[in-house]
Structure 1
């Protein structure tokens, strides 16, 4: 019996140690799992916020791009109108120039006719 008591105490202490170690490891795993779960929730929220920010930025970029396109179209229309006005002005100038040339030529022809008529009369 004297030998059995220390062996019994040794085995009880070893069993208690094993049980305590297993319990601590289990609690650690739970904490790790809960920590990972919380981390996972945080990551999910961060990912959602990131995606929302990207969507918002994309919408802003799209709106800015549409505004730029509209402004470019307006500028193109204005440039087209200015070019049309210039072309119209040039056309008007061409018409005026042609009209002056025609009048000048008609005047020359009339002078030539008069000169021819005077030459024939003499």
Structure 2
């Protein structure tokens, strides 16, 4: 019996060691599986955040383009208004010049009429 006790203890220790190793390997596999699931979830979240950032950038780019277009339109309108103001100013100058010419012509006509009237008798009228 003395030989049987050490063999029994040896077998019990070997069995315990095998069971413990199997349990640890199982826990590692579960941790690894859970870790992969978590990693997968993190990757999904990262992908979603990346896509959201891309969408946000696209919206900002569109807004920037719209602002640039609006600014260009404003500048074009402003340039058009400046040109229109210049044209109006030139038109005003033309009108003023025409008025002066007309006034001079009227003055000349009046002088001619007076000269003509001096030479002829006035009719009552």
Alpha-carbon offset, residue 58 of structure 1: 1.9
5+ residue gaps, structure 1, are none
Structure 1 Cα separation of the partners of residues 90 and 4 of structure 2: 124
Aligned length: 118
**Structure 1, residues 56-113: CA drift from partner, whole Å, max 9, x if none?**
2321331232133123212212212312431453466478669989999999999999
Structure 1 Cα separation of the partners of residues 5 and 112 of structure 2: 153
Which range is displaced more, 105-114 or 59-68?
105-114
| Residues 1:65 and 2:65 are matched in the alignment | yes
TM-score with structure 2 setting the length: 0.61
5+ residue gaps, structure 2, are 119-125
Structure 2 Cα separation of the partners of residues 101 and 12 of structure 1: 130
TM-score with structure 1 setting the length: 0.62
Which range is displaced more, 105-114 or 57-66?
105-114
Q: What RMSD in Å do the two structures reach over aligned CA positions?
A: 4.8
Structure 1 runs (4+) deviating above 6 angstroms are: 94-118
Alpha-carbon offset, residue 35 of structure 1: 2.3
Alpha-carbon offset, residue 20 of structure 1: 1.0
* Residue 93 of structure 1: aligned partner: 93
Alpha-carbon offset, residue 34 of structure 1: 0.4
